[in-house]
A = this chain, B = another copy of it.
């Protein structure tokens, strides 16, 4: 289905006025990044719509897979964004004009949308972003340094950033951001990056090991200076 058909017939396939947006988060070079797509001169979150024949959860997984190529991606519900004026009329108009596509005022995409925002933690190395039909580019942006974005999409990213801070105090989910095998210093740096503050190395290590969800691999890994760290991986049931 090309974009023109999508504009014309999308409302038969998808639930109207409802979208799913994804804050796809990765860890690279010591920084927390999120994946954005470019349409026109602005950036927006990867997202999509819910087929009338699929559940919200299925739609979320489908959208994630389409964009990241990952088979079984991590994701978690973030929040509803449901302002009464949440329309993208101006954004669509600009894009359609620039691409010589006929602009229909009453198009379903021009209506108000309530979005179900999710966030997803992915392994930077394993993620191969895929462009949609109309996306000009993708790029990983530092979460502290976001570009011009559509409407409230920046708010959504910032909400995800705050949410992640809360969540990692409770659950162990950050390993989704690392390769299968990782070291404690890596995990430590990751947590510091998420929380934006220094964490005591000693206690961090003890706490992680005490959590019991990781198993130490006897292997060591060789690198530059210093002592070689152990590697760990998540215990399998």
Residue pair B84, A54 in contact (C-beta under 8 Å)? yes
| A114 CB contacts on chain B under 8 angstroms | 15, 18, 50, 56
How many monomers of this chain does the complex have? 2
User: A62-70, A75-83, A173-181: which one contacts chain B?
Assistant: A75-83
Closest to A83 in B: B55
Number of contact residues on A: which range applies?
Answer: 20 to 34
Q: List 7 A-B contacts (CB under 8 A).
A: A15-B114, A16-B17, A17-B18, A50-B114, A53-B84, A56-B114, A58-B84
Besides A18-B114, A53-B84, A55-B83, 20 more A-B contacts (Cβ < 8 Å) are A15-B112, A15-B114, A16-B17, A17-B17, A17-B18, A18-B18, A50-B82, A50-B114, A52-B84, A52-B112, A54-B84, A55-B82, A55-B84, A56-B80, A56-B82, A56-B83, A57-B82, A58-B84, A77-B80, A80-B116
